[in-house]
């Protein structure tokens, strides 16, 4: 951390401290680039973050809280906003002492030289118009996923459980092109059972399974994945990766682990 950035750290929040980096990334500031920046630091005296969890705190859906507490999207949202504005976040933490989050944003009017390093801009994710049946029992995750899909042009039908998905299917089966479902769900029907049932009704249905667990949670359905060309997507997953996986699955293309973070069930 930069001492200047944390000059008023006893007050918890440091406002509008300007910092100028003369060179690109260093060991203490791995994402820095030449230019002027404003640093805002927030420090707490809480339980701190373990070294094991620290690299994952900005992952969507990652949490150390009990089930049902929080949306698991707070830090991921902050990270995305800061990145979109050309900044970055540095975190230091010690268990039992607390954590410090330092947010660096480009200073308004800061001069940029042609030689300044630029962060590569990811290509826009592919769009579509198909109808997707989204089945997810956690409300906040379902809401965010639906917004992502609709923003990419898809028509989304949603359900919070297997039985609810069957009711939606009854009235919309001809239109549904893809089932995007969590694996572990309440009310007696899990994602694997739901997919197998719907595939018997409509063989052309594409399927993407999602789970916070590894592919082993799919149990004995490896043959189903093989025959149906289904995808298994492990949470957390970046929005761009999810949208790319949806498009590839709808197009009947094989999963690309190295490109979009999708992994087939290990046969």
Over the stretch 186-216, which tens digit does the pLDDT of each residue have?
888 988 899 989 999 999 999 999 887 655 4
Domain identity same for 256 and 154: yes
Predicted local confidence at residue 3, as pLDDT: 40
**CATH number of the domain that residue 64 is part of:** 3.30.565.10
Predicted local confidence at residue 173, as pLDDT: 95
Residue 240 in domain: yes
Domain identity same for 92 and 166: no
- Apex 260 CA angle, 255 and 263, nearest 5: 50
When pLDDT is cut at 50, 70 and 90, the band that residue 261 belongs to is very low
**CATH number of the domain that residue 232 is part of:** 3.40.50.2300
Domain final residue pick, 106, 122, 141 = 106
Predicted local confidence at residue 59, as pLDDT: 73
Residue 113 in domain: no
Which comes out higher in pLDDT, residue 141 or 170?
Answer: 170
Residue 75 in domain: yes
Predicted local confidence at residue 14, as pLDDT: 47
Beta-bridge partners for 44: none
**Among the listed residues 110, 91, 126, the one whose alpha carbon sits nearest the alpha carbon of residue 251:** 126
Domain final residue pick, 89, 106, 123 = 106
Predicted local confidence at residue 169, as pLDDT: 97
For the chain, give the mean pLDDT: 76
Residue 102 in domain: yes
Beta-bridge partners for 179: 133, 207
Residue 189 in domain: yes
Domain identity same for 232 and 140: yes
Residue 73 in domain: yes
Residue 217 in domain: yes
Which comes out higher in pLDDT, residue 20 or 33?
Answer: 33
- Looking up tokens 């995007």, which residue turns up? 180
18 half-sphere exposure, CB direction, 13 A CA radius: 7
Q: Mean of the pLDDT values across residues 55-60?
A: 76
Domain identity same for 135 and 102: no
Q: Mean of the pLDDT values across residues 69-95?
A: 76
8 Å CB contact between 6 and 25? no
Number of domains in the chain: 2
Predicted local confidence at residue 222, as pLDDT: 54
The percent of residues in the chain predicted with pLDDT above 70, rounded, is 70
Residue 116 in domain: no
226 alpha-carbon distance from chain centroid: 26
Residues 166, 193: Cα–Cα separation, whole Å: 11
Predicted local confidence at residue 60, as pLDDT: 64
**Among the listed residues 150, 148, 156, the one whose alpha carbon sits nearest the alpha carbon of residue 131:** 156
Domain identity same for 196 and 255: yes
Q: Mean of the pLDDT values across residues 53-75?
A: 68
Domain identity same for 220 and 141: yes
Domain final residue pick, 72, 106, 140 = 106
Domain identity same for 94 and 141: no
Domain identity same for 146 and 229: yes
Domain extent at residue 178 = 131-260
Predicted local confidence at residue 36, as pLDDT: 83
Q: Per-residue pLDDT tens for 111-140?
A: 444 444 454 555 677 899 999 999 999 888
């Amino acid at each position: 951390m930069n001492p200047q950035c944390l000059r008023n750290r006893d007050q918890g929040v440091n406002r509008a401290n300007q910092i100028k980096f003369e060179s690109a990334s260093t060991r203490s500031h791995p994402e820095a680039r030449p230019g002027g920046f404003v640093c805002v630091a927030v420090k707490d005296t809480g339980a701190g973050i373990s070294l094991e969890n620290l690299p994952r705190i900005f992952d969507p859906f990652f949490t150390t809280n009990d089930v049902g507490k929080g949306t698991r999207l707070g830090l991921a949202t902050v990270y995305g906003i800061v990145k979109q504005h050309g900044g970055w976040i540095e975190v230091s933490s010690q268990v039992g002492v607390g954590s410090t989050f330092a947010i660096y944003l480009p200073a308004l009017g800061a001069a940029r030289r042609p030689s300044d390093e630029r962060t590569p801009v990811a290509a826009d994710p592919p769009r579509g118009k198909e109808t997707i049946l989204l089945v997810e029992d956690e409300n906040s995750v379902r809401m965010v996923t639906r917004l992502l899909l609709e923003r990419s042009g898809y028509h989304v039908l949603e359900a919070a459980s297997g039985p609810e998905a069957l009711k939606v299917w009854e009235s919309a089966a001809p239109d549904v092109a893809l089932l995007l479902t969590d694996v572990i769900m309440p009310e007696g029907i899990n994602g694997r059972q739901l997919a197998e049932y719907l595939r018997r009704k409509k063989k052309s249905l594409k399927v993407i399974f999602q789970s916070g667990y590894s592919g082993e949670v799919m149990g004995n359905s490896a043959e189903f994945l093989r025959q149906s060309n289904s995808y298994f997507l492990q949470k957390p997953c970046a929005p761009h990766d999810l949208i790319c996986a949806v498009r590839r699955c709808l197009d009947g293309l094989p999963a690309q682990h190295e490109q979009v973070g999708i992994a087939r069930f290990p046969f």
